[in-house]
Amino acid sequence: FNTTSDLHSDMDHGDSEVKYTLSGEGAGSIFTIDQITGDIHALVGLDRSEKAFYTLKAQAVDIHTGLALEPESQFIIKVQDINDNEPRFLDGPYSASVPEMSPTGTFVTQVTATDADDPTYGSSARIVYSIVQGQPYFSVDAKTGVIRTALANMDREVKQQYQVLLQAKDMGGQLGGLASTTTINISLSDVNDNPPRFTKGVFHLHVPESAAKGSSVGRIQAYDQDTGSNAWVDYAIIPGDDGDAFDVVSHQQSQEGVILVKKVDSRFLHLGPFKDSVTVKVSVVDVDEPPVFTRASYVMDVYEDSPPGIIIGSVTAQDLDPSSSGRVDDSAERYGPKLISQYFFLKMVIYDINLDIFNSIKCQKDKSRLNLLINVTFINKQLNNMCHFCLFLLQGTARVSEFCSGACLGEGLG
């Protein structure tokens, strides 16, 4: 047993008449007391990081009667710290970044460790930081764990990733102190420190002289060692050297420049303007058309026993063609098995195209069922048109027969 403490009563004269008892936290399981001497012993190993102190009570009693010789005393056993815990990095491994080309002493990150030992007792919990791997590029503050750049102008295009092995050691870094390490992955972020470079010195492109404005001539390309927006290349044509005849469009995704035709070759502008005009006359050509009657059908009356040569009526037709001579030929046709010319003849009138219908012979009642069809033909065109009309036989002032049926008046007329 490890002696933790000892108790002694003023009533104890060393004659073994006094007995000591113990109660409270851990009494009998963690701590025990020698009933004769009053010495207190620890039964198990104590860990200050788990429990730093215990509260106990002790009392001296008569060994024969068990009666208390003095009031019960309370005391505290404090677990004294020893350096039994190494520092710990709770969140490792760590990641950090710093811009490339940074000057010496630029802040990168801060990393801290914890120690479970008592920081108020000795140096068990006093931690000191140091870099095991990562020099000469980075440095660390021994007390705070702040990491800074130790080398100026580190170039991302030369080396982008760095790994720092950081150590934390207690006991102030002295010999015998406990230590642990963690890894910090540091990357250099890009800055725009590189100009774009063309892939070759001269690009040979060809374009036909007939190329339209805005048509593509070809592509050129340059590369930039930077990344992200710092690597975007914007192309432009330097004024002069016929640059005003072309344009260039920048494509961010492909990092290419597309050359476009901007305007017509300026060498030939003095020959312009490149345009012409002409007058176009359109003449409407006449197409021969047949004569047109002024009415679709005619109705006429004639007295029975009318003498030959009497005018019964007139029909009129017009020619719409402007170049027509107006000469017509005419004929009367039977709208049935016999020719109407047995009874009537037509009088032709030049230019007016009025066709007077004359009674050819004496009208008779037994020849009353007749329908007339007038056919008018322009002699110089051989075009014709027809018109129907009906005759009514009159006796006195009244019609006694009608020679035109509804079919004659309605169907096929015009």
Tens digits of residue pLDDT in 116-154: 888 888 888 999 999 999 999 999 999 999 999 999 999
Tens digits of residue pLDDT in 205-242: 888 878 888 888 899 888 889 888 888 888 888 877 66
Position 208 scores a pLDDT of 87
Superfamily per CATH, domain 2-78: Cadherins (2.60.40.60)
Query: pTM, whole model, 2 decimals?
Result: 0.50
Tens digits of residue pLDDT in 29-76: 999 988 888 888 989 988 887 888 999 998 888 888 888 888 888 989
DSSP 3-state assignment of 366? helix
Look at residue 357 and tell me whether its pLDDT is greater than 70: no
Determine contact, residues 33/40, Cβ cutoff 8 Å.
Answer: yes
CATH 3.40.50.20 corresponds to the domain 292-410: no
CA-to-CA dists, residue 15 to 37, 137, 380, angstroms: 11, 75, 175
Query: Mean per-residue pLDDT for 258-270?
Result: 69
Cα distance between residue 177 and residue 123, in whole Å: 9
Look at residue 381 and tell me whether its pLDDT is greater than 50: no
Amino acid found at 333: E
What are the sequence ranges of the domains in the chain? 2-78, 94-189, 197-267, 292-410
Superfamily per CATH, domain 197-267: Cadherins (2.60.40.60)
Cα distance between residue 225 and residue 354, in whole Å: 102
Question: At 373, which helix (H) or strand (E)?
Answer: strand 371-378
Cα distance between residue 360 and residue 340, in whole Å: 10
The pairing of beta strand 256-261 with beta strand 297-303? unpaired
How close are the terminal C-alpha atoms of the chain, in Å?
A: 145
Determine contact, residues 390/372, Cβ cutoff 8 Å.
Answer: yes
Look at residue 19 and tell me whether its pLDDT is greater than 50: yes
DSSP 3-state assignment of 283? coil
CA-to-CA dists, residue 337 to 37, 370, 379, angstroms: 169, 10, 27
Cα distance between residue 125 and residue 117, in whole Å: 5
Half-sphere exposure of 369 (CA within 13 A, CB side): 5
Position 312 scores a pLDDT of 75
Query: Mean per-residue pLDDT for 289-294?
Result: 76
Compute the mean pLDDT over every residue in the chain, rounded to the nearest whole number.
76
Classify domain 94-189 at the CATH class level: mainly beta
Please write down the HEC assignment for all residues of 254-269.
Answer: CCEEEEEECCCCHHHH
Cα distance between residue 217 and residue 248, in whole Å: 10
Look at residue 348 and tell me whether its pLDDT is greater than 60: no
Position 252 scores a pLDDT of 79
Amino acid found at 191: V
Cα distance between residue 229 and residue 248, in whole Å: 20
Cα distance between residue 200 and residue 197, in whole Å: 8
Cα distance between residue 300 and residue 54, in whole Å: 148
Cα distance between residue 290 and residue 313, in whole Å: 23
Position 270 scores a pLDDT of 61
Position 269 scores a pLDDT of 57
